[in-house]
């Protein structure tokens, strides 16, 4: 009953935010780089940091993780309203990662490990933000990760927090997973959710001693990394908006439904996650298998991307 009440509360908060966003003109105007064609309310993802704040008052989450999410959320929300320079955004990420490290007691680990985890977490947060480009993709992918973490025996104590964040995804998804979205997550939503998921990835690996769980983020990770490498090869500014992710080609040039693409991305990731959980439960999840699966997924992605790009180039001609 408490979770039904919480869902109703979160939906109500989202509706209240829409009135505020409409009043203060917090909108996303389409441009040549956009995958949408109509003006849409921005920042609906503010429900994610609000949800973690509620979880904190309910005693379901530490103050360190709550503060970390709120710091990046506040800076990102300001950036959604009035673009900021790189410095305050990066500074908020560094502080937030430091809080995550403190929460997970990582500062007692080997010194060589800290910069690696730091780079990976910062990279994940930015990659997740870059992937937020079509209706439904961010919230469905986040919900897939949250559901997957919830099935892990090591995360039983975190279930109330995971359920709360999952309900925030449902509340946001009601208005985002549709042909014409009522709202977009904005940086406030994508970055705060990315940090939250990154926290649980690190926690899961520490709890299980199994690096293979990093494949929970493989679909996003492969698309983001390959796209960045392609842009570097073309000498493009990787921090500038673009339309060269595979999902963007599918949505913009190929004309596939945003929601369909988002469901496919989330569905493929859910299948991978289910396989990883099953193999670990059977005690057969080896480093070699993880590497082979990652290479296979990357190869499939490259072949599919090459095919789609070839078709896109023919359409443009």
What would the pLDDT profile of 231-270 be if each residue is shown by its tens digit?
A: 998 888 887 778 889 999 999 889 899 999 999 999 999 9
| Cα 7 from Cα 167, distance rounded (Å) | 6
pLDDT at 36 over 70: no
State the total domains in the chain.
1
288: which DSSP letter? H
What would the pLDDT profile of 262-313 be if each residue is shown by its tens digit?
A: 999 999 999 999 999 999 999 999 999 999 999 999 999 999 999 999 988 8
What would the pLDDT profile of 112-136 be if each residue is shown by its tens digit?
A: 999 999 999 999 999 999 999 899 9
Neighbours of 30 (CB within 10 A): 12
7: Cα separation from own chain's centroid:
21
**What residues form the annotated binding site?**
129, 187
pLDDT the model gives residue 33: 56
- The DSSP H or E segment spanning 7 is helix 2-23
Tell me the pLDDT band of 50, cut-offs 50, 70 and 90: very high
Give the residue numbers spanning the domain of 252. Answer: 2-316
Phi, psi of 6 (to 5 degrees): -65, -40
| Cα 218 from Cα 286, distance rounded (Å) | 16
| Cα 94 from Cα 88, distance rounded (Å) | 10
**What residues form the annotated binding site for Mg(2+)?**
129, 187
CB 196 within 8 A of CB 49: no
CB 56 within 8 A of CB 66: yes
Number of helices and strands in the chain (H, E): 12, 2
What does the angle CA 249 – CA 231 – CA 195 come to, to the nearest 5 degrees?
80
């Amino acid at each position: 009953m408490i979770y039904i009440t919480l869902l109703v509360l979160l939906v109500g908060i989202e509706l209240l935010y829409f009135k505020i966003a409409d009043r203060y003109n917090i909108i996303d105007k389409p441009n040549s780089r956009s995958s949408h064609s109509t003006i849409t309310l921005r920042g609906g993802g503010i429900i994610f940091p609000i949800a973690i704040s509620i979880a904190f008052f309910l005693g379901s989450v530490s103050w360190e993780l709550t503060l970390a999410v709120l710091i990046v959320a506040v800076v990102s929300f300001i950036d959604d309203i009035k673009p900021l320079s790189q410095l305050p955004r990066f500074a908020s990420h560094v502080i937030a990662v430091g809080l995550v490290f403190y929460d997970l007691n990582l500062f007692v680990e080997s010194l060589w490990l800290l910069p690696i985890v730091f780079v990976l977490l910062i990279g994940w947060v930015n990659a997740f933000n870059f992937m937020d480009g079509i209706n439904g993709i961010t919230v469905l992918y986040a919900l897939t990760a949250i559901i997957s973490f919830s099935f892990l025996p090591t995360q039983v104590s975190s279930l109330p927090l995971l359920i709360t964040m999952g309900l925030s995804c449902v509340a946001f998804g009601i208005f985002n997973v549709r042909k014409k979205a009522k709202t977009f997550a904005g940086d406030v939503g994508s970055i705060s959710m990315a940090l939250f998921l990154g926290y649980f990835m690190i926690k899961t690996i520490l709890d299980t001693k199994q690096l293979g769980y990093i494949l929970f983020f493989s679909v996003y990770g492969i698309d983001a990394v390959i796209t960045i490498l392609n842009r570097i090869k073309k000498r493009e500014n990787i921090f500038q908006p673009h339309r060269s992710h595979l999902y963007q080609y599918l949505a913009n040039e190929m004309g596939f439904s945003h929601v369909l693409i988002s469901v496919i991305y989330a569905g493929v990731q859910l299948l991978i996650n289910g396989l990883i959980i099953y193999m670990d439960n059977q005690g057969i999840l080896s480093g070699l298998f993880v590497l082979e699966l990652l290479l296979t997924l990357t190869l499939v992605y490259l072949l599919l991307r090459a095919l789609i790009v070839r078709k896109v180039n023919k359409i443009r001609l």
